[in-house]
């Protein structure tokens, strides 16, 4: 078990800066998830921690010791690859015990550890098979077994479930959570599946363009996103945004038609964008007080939830999510979208979230 500290870690491939001055502290025993759009540098950051790619600048500490130049095999880590990277020519037993064999561990001890890991992952009956004779889920278990057997102080996972189908993914997600609860080793997990991130993580690290956008518990990131990027990244369907502007004379914030919000006045952090999550919206009669007006586009029934699309303007369509059916409106019918101040997010020019209560003016929103 070990903590991990990154100090101003940067990585460039040629002139291309993949990671830019990453500072991060991971506590001993934490389950940390890196998420971010494709190409944002998640894998590179994980590989830098593993020692598979050298960092260009900055320092990496594992368990309080500086390991920036220590080779991967001496960092006490285990890595689970997206493609599993099992040795195709070795059977499952040898795949798992190869690291121990390389370290010249005694045969008896190897066998003992192998049995324990195989029992834990329920792969005892597969030990004689080659990787290509295994299903995707079984390969995944073997890959985790290979990581477990060397009893690392830090587990690194790079999108381990992305090659599995939805059912199996859920099952393995549960298993990984269980594994963490059992052994309590620090784990860093890369994914771009936000369900995995939200369900597994003690804390989530959101990356974008090689920078950390925000670090926090899933709840914190969801309820209090630091900026527009984080707000738009977490949540499915994603948050609805619309441009707003402040009328300097009245102090009223104008947005999509029907939206009015009184601000406390002018300042450097004038909101320019508003955000409302799909589940915070409600379809109401057109013209209802305090509602945003639009025209109904279409409804989707997913069984357990219902999604509707409402057009606010030519290039702006908002999503509404509800557990209640949202059909019953004709395409093109004028509707209103009800919302509440507690669900409102505002973002300034730089995309930073503006605290709604602080921005709120003395006049409670009035209808125009």
Ligand X SMILES: Nc1ncnc2c1ncn2[C@@H]1O[C@H](COP(=O)(O)OP(=O)(O)OP(=O)(O)O)[C@@H](O)[C@H]1O
Q: Which residues bind to Mg ion, rule: CB under 5 A? A: 43
87 near ligand X, rule: CB under 6 A: no
87 near other proteins, rule: CB under 8 A: yes
Question: Which CB atom, from 191 or from 240, has the smaller least distance to ligand X?
Answer: 191
Q: How far apart are the first and last CA of the chain?
A: 60
Interaxial angle between packed helices 136-149 and 92-102, expressed in degrees from 0 to 180 and rounded to the nearest 10: 20
Binder among 10, 17, 70, 72 for other proteins (CB under 8 A): 72
Question: Which CB atom, from 193 or from 282, has the smaller least distance to Mg ion?
Answer: 193
- DSSP secondary structure code for residue 355 in this structure: P
The helix or strand, by DSSP H or E, that contains position 3, with its residue range, turns out to be none
| Distance (Å, whole) CA 177 – CA 199 | 9
Return the one option of other proteins, ligand X, Mg ion, none that residue 18 interacts with (CB less than 5 to 8 A, by type).
ligand X
Question: Which CB atom, from 87 or from 174, has the smaller least distance to other proteins?
Answer: 87
* Matching residue, tokens 């004709």: 330
Return the one option of Mg ion, ligand X, other proteins, none that residue 98 interacts with (CB less than 5 to 8 A, by type).
other proteins
**To the nearest whole angstrom, how small is the minimum distance from the Cβ of residue 113 to other proteins?**
14
**To the nearest whole angstrom, how small is the minimum distance from the Cβ of residue 60 to Mg ion?**
18
- DSSP secondary structure code for residue 138 in this structure: H
Question: Which CB atom, from 158 or from 213, has the smaller least distance to Mg ion?
Answer: 158
Inter-residue contact 366 to 260 (CB < 8 Å): yes
| Distance (Å, whole) CA 189 – CA 255 | 39
Q: What is the CA radius of gyration of the chain?
A: 25
# binding residues, ligand X (CB under 6 A)? 12
Return the one option of ligand X, Mg ion, other proteins, none that residue 99 interacts with (CB less than 5 to 8 A, by type).
other proteins
Beta strands in 87-243 (DSSP E): 154-158, 186-190, 203-208, 211-216, 240-243
Strands 334-338 and 282-285 turn out to be antiparallel
Question: Which CB atom, from 102 or from 112, has the smaller least distance to other proteins?
Answer: 102
**To the nearest whole angstrom, how small is the minimum distance from the Cβ of residue 52 to ligand X?**
10
89 near other proteins, rule: CB under 8 A: yes
Q: Which of residues 13-42 bind ligand X (CB under 6 A)?
A: 13, 16, 18, 36, 38-42
3-state secondary structure (DSSP) of residue 194: helix
Return the one option of ligand X, other proteins, Mg ion, none that residue 41 interacts with (CB less than 5 to 8 A, by type).
ligand X
Q: Got the DSSP string for 256-290?
A: STT-EEEBS---TT-EEEEEE-GGG-EEEETT-TT
Question: Which CB atom, from 72 or from 99, has the smaller least distance to Mg ion?
Answer: 72
Query: By the criterion CB under 8 A, which residues form the site for other proteins?
Result: 50, 52, 71-73, 77-79, 81-83, 85-89, 98-99, 102-103, 146, 150
Query: By the criterion CB under 6 A, which residues form the site for ligand X?
Result: 13, 16, 18, 36, 38-44, 192
């Amino acid at each position: 078990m070990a903590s991990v500290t990154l100090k101003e870690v940067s990585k460039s491939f040629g002139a291309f800066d993949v990671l830019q001055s990453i500072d991060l502290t991971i506590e001993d025993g934490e389950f940390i998830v890196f998420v971010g759009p494709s190409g944002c540098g998640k894998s590179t950051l994980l590989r830098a921690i593993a020692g598979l790619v050298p960092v260009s600048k900055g320092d990496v500490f594992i368990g309080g010791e500086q390991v920036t130049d220590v080779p991967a095999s001496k960092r006490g880590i285990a890595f689970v690859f997206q493609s599993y990277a099992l040795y195709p020519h070795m059977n499952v037993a040898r795949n798992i015990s190869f690291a121990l064999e390389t370290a010249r561990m005694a045969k008896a001890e190897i066998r003992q550890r192998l049995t324990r890991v195989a029992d834990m992952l329920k792969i005892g009956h597969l030990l004689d098979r080659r990787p290509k004779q295994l299903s995707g889920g079984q390969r995944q278990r073997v890959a985790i077994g290979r990581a477990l057997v060397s009893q690392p102080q830090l587990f690194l996972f790079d999108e381990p479930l992305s090659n599995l189908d939805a059912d199996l993914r859920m099952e393995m997600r549960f298993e990984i959570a269980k594994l963490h609860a059992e052994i309590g080793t620090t784990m860093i997990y890369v994914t771009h599946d936000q369900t995995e991130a939200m369900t597994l993580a003690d804390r989530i690290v959101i990356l974008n363009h090689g920078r950390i956008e925000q670090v926090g518990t899933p709840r914190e990131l969801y309820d209090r996103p630091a900026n527009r990027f984080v707000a738009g990244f977490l949540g499915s369907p994603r948050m609805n945004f619309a441009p707003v502007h402040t009328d300097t004379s009245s102090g009223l914030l104008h947005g999509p038609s029907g939206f009015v919000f009184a601000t406390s006045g002018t300042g450097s952090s004038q909101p320019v964008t508003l955000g409302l999550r799909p589940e915070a919206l409600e379809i109401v009669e057109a013209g209802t007080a305090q509602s945003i007006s639009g025209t109904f586009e279409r409804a989707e029934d997913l069984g357990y939830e219902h999604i509707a699309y409402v057009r606010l303007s030519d290039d702006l369509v908002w999503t509404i999510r509800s557990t209640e059916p949202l059909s019953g409106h004709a395409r093109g019918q004028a509707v209103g979208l009800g919302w509440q101040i507690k669900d409102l997010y505002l973002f300034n020019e730089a995309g930073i979230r503006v605290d709604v209560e602080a921005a709120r003016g003395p006049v409670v929103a009035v209808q125009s």
